[in-house]
Structure 1
Amino acid sequence: MKKPEEIAREQIDQKLKLAGWEIQTKENFNRLASQGVAYCEFCTSDKKFADYVLYVEGKIIGIIEAKKSGYLLSGVFAQSSHYANFIPKGAPIFQNAPAFIYESNGEEIYFCDLREQDYRSRILSYFHTPSSLLNLIKSDPLRNFLKNIPLLEKNNLRECQYHAIKNLESSLAENHNRSLLQMATGSGKTYTACNISYRLLKYARAKRILFLVDRKDLGSQTLSEYENFKISNRSFSELYIINHITQNTIPEDSQIVIMTIQRLYSILTNTPLTEEDEELESSQTLQNVISKIPYNQSIPFDFFDFIIVDECHRSIYGNWRAILDYFDSFIIGLTATPSKLTFGFFQSNLIYSYTYEQSVLDGVNVDFWAWRIETNITQNGSVIPPKSLIIKRDKRDRKIIYEELDEELAYSNKDLDTKVLNRSQIRTILTEYKKLIYSQLFSERKSEDESKNLAYIPKTLIFAKDDHHAEEITLIAREVFGKGNTFAQKITHTNKNSKEAIRDFRTNPNFRIAITVDMIATGTDIKPLEVLIFMRNVKSSGYFEQMKGRGCRSIDDQALREVTPNAKSKNKFYIIDCIGVLDSAKILSTPIIKGDRAQTPTLKKAIEDIAKGIITPQNTSLLASKISRIAQKIDKKDEAYLQKLLEETFIPPIQTPLQGNFGENKEEYDFIPSNSLLSLSKQLYTLSNILEEDITLHPSTPTPLTQEEQKEQLANFITAPFNHASFRNSLINIAKILYIYIDELNTDEVTLSQPIESTNQIEDFERFIIEHKDSILALSILYDKKKIHITQNALEELKQKLQESQIDIAKLWKSYAKKQNKQSAYKNLTDLISLVRLGYQQIKELHSFAENANKLYELYLGRLINKGIHLTKEQRNLFDTIKECIITEGYFSQKDFGEYFADEGGIAYANRVLGDSFKLEVCLEELYEALVG
């Protein structure tokens, strides 16, 4: 048996050879035998031996300290760097001492560049090539340039973009190899990335940056952003070489490389990639976890200095993580909706967060209003009576079959559009939406010409459950609105021209309704979009936020009118909830991890593994669960067919049946051939327990078999049906629900159509302010109208108490605004005064405190004029400053003069300016009383 030291040396030698190093010993040493030579057991000047000394073009450039397999490397640097300091005098060497230090146990490789400021070891997947080290030694380290990037100037950047870039450069300067940017949809993530790329190429002298997307059409969208990005009136593509990779080669002169992660995987592993795979999101194109990327000489691990990962909330860190781990690159993540998994991958280094709520307040995005449409069948399902002649459609070829029901077919709302499709339900929802457009949602756009109204309804995106559901919605939408093919179109992954359709939806005034499943759910920028209709539920909170983000993007008024001629501006968008998506509990988007998998295998994969003889506690338990669910939902004909196949796969009972008594729990179980899906499910579950818990079996009759042989025999017996392709394929096909019934007998009707108001927030708030009117100072002042000033501290206390009671002030404001049909948002701390007064019913309408205070201020100035008092310019400036302070903080005291007018002389300045016309105390009290009351 090989020793751990020998195993490690063999692995190190293998990885050095992969990188192009020739390994030599003292006996055959020739430092010029190759561009890169790794000399084993090099004797240092203090008579110690370095495991490997690296020569490039005959000169020493680096050291490798080898440790045994499994050795922890973080404490080895002192030893390896010691060798670097004791290279014999006169030895040919780059820059007087080896610059590059490695430690390795065969599996792991630590690397350090001693020329870096605050140098720090980092983990590599492989060793550098000799030419890579030669290029590195000829220039200053990248990490040193990152510490000296010139200060960013704001210029035309949005505030959020400016802070995102500034914080990222600080993170990179501190040598954080992973940095996460959370930026709301519509805030310009890609534009920010263009700015980042330019500054890294120019000031950090980056050689190559990868912009990674997970869908092909997003790559094209990103390419356009880079090409349109201007630097001093020159386009990015004039200054730097940009390549959108759609084939399996990357030009070496590329400086910006845009591609899907699927394409990158295909290039690295030389795996074929279909065009369809690249059109799908990465989470849909790979079932198995990639364990490790093999070394690729054409794309070495140091090929990219930076990797920008777009939409980095997705499953890229599960199945595809090994691709990112292959590269020695700084990784920058961009997302609007990070999940727990995202934070974990980026080592919780969230360098900047710009939320959707902040983007609405800043006018970057528009807020959403919600409307609920409920129908009888959507809520309750329906029943098709026996003897009814019903249409049954094959989902594979859309073939129609007419079938007479032997018994009634009852379906619930959960079966809708998967097991049973009711066209009346779809028609009822779309008809109600058609009525709402100009009566409730966009009444200001209604004209006398009905044909124009229908021609230019707001751009609308409908989310369907699957491709077949989307097909039905498309056909019925054209019928309901009385329009043609251009008016309503399906955009799903089955569309070969989906890219052109998305572009057309964005710009064509005649294309008004798009129906999709997932294709436009994330990443796609369609600014004129004003209505999202949910006819499918979404349980992932991150995914729902991404879908919601399709409608939030702001757009210039003129640009909107070019595609929606009857619109004046886009100041909101609507979510039409037809399924309860706003009510359903959301979960974080995190993968289910079993063993070394980052997502639960599909039924097909689980069955194929069993057929291959991969019978483990995990996959037998998983298959038991999946088959149990199938057994509960299939119809009697399919059940009978599968039972017949199970009987055909019959094998004799096992030689020594385990009956009655086995294991610690003394469970009783007869292992006989399964004759139903439920019995098969139960046997698989029992098998998973036996395999996992190491149960001792007690057969009813003596047997010469060992325990392991008995378990193997039992496993083969229970899983025997999966050895037959007919059973495997039938089970997989039936599980897909290949047929869907079309209910044309039951008509639907609207049971509810109304705006969704967050009344709970209002009710909670109004209950809170009554309960605490005596215990919280700000509430006490406003409730009793006490002659005590509301200070910033009092408002801060109220804000904290509200937050502790789970009352979200921004959402509360929005709830009141929607209730009163107003366009308004919570901005300043003093807006709490308006909320409390509204809650106490002291005022009837919601206005921001600033808006109200400015009006009252003008009235106050008018009263002064009526008294014959005309303010001087200095007095007016003084009063304006006091007014602004009251608007933001609630009160202005005499001591505040020392802060706001420190340069002018504080209170002395105020007294001089006011002169004999005003007494300071009286002036402050009058202003407070006038604005706050």
Structure 2
Amino acid sequence: MPKTLIFAVDDHHADEIVQMVRQVFGESDDFCRKITHAAKRPAELIKAFRNSPELRIAVTVDMIATGTDIPPLECVFFLRDVKSWAYFEQMKGRGSRTVDPAEFQAVTPDAEVKERFVIVDAVGVTDSPRVDARPLNRVSERKIPLERLMAKTAGLAMTEDEVATLAGRLARLDRQLTPEEREEIEEIAGRPLKEIIGGLVRSVDPDQQERARRIGGEKQVRQEMLDALKPIASNRELRDRLMSMRRAHDIVIDEVSVDELKEARGITADELAMRRVTSWQQYLKDHQDEIAALNLAFSERRDPKEVYRRLKDLARKIERPPFQWTPARLYDAYVQLGKAAKHPRGAAGVIDLIGLLRFELGLDQEVRPYRALVEERYAAWRARQEQAGTVFTEDQMWWLDRIVDVIATEATIEPEHLKSVAFVERGGVDGFLREFGADRGAEILEELGRELSA
């Protein structure tokens, strides 16, 4: 039996074919196997199909349709229709790989050389009409910009061409995003942007649509398209964030408008700093509900992990247009106006938004780096320990000082932090427990996290 690849309609169909092949040939499970995404260890099965003399027939749906080389393959068997010319050519191409005679004979012992491969068309694939490959971007940007596409998405009122165009536009945007932006989108959407794009692409794929028609006609095709749109349609925050990211990455060249000179003079560093601080103060007034939550967290010394998460969300929001602020730019503006000392590390980070917020909320009289606040509280904690008669060894002080460094940059300390490079040189978690003991060690981590944070 030559190595044969059978294309099935779906996973259930593949199971039926495997069972039928085994009955017809009276062979064991090793003779014919299903190789789909639903199969166990599909990568190992592909390797066995390529190299094993025992596995003669593989049944797949799409997994081996493209990009997988099985040089000894001599028969490509179609038990499903294919609507795309390009996809059909790729599927046929699985049998066109050449193979060295010795390698060929190792897999198929009674063969000599691979001179050709055979196509078995059991369902009339070669007689059915197929479509040429179409680009995703089927509607021009001028005719329907992304903002309008997003609006139509919200109402689930899109044509097939518009769904394809949305997929193409989002795919282009995805290539421009930073890892941090992709992480933010995944957090808002509950899934990666690539997964959403993949669903849109599949919903307009001719072969996927043909399978849907066999299940439930044109109504099923439409339903699958709507299902692919729902992650965006039902999430206003996601749509808004995608649009703001698109604007941030766009380069707009205006060849029509005429510039008008309104003012011609230099802007001093003090003026620029004052504008930035004033705008920041206005932002805090306009977002009182959001800032009130942080104010309460500071006042009641709530979970530092939650505080840090809120700070990261705030940092992401203010870095978007029209503000485009970073913690470092805001902090430097306060330094320029004499309301803060220069940052000891040269540039402020997300955690230093705490100092800016505490100052504007009236909790502190000056803007201080978060590290200064943590070190001040650490000194007070050490003083209380000494008054209580607790004496730390030099090695224990090393651990305590490193823990303070972590809290000063991440607002909290967790056992997971002890596995980082800064602690590994002294044994990580095990080294910490050797110095302090299990009970006292857990107590110290919890106490420092509570006493030193926001």
- TM class by shorter-chain length? 0.3 to 0.5
TM-score, scaled to structure 2? 0.37
Q: Give the structure with the larger strand fraction.
A: 1
TM-score, scaled to structure 1? 0.22
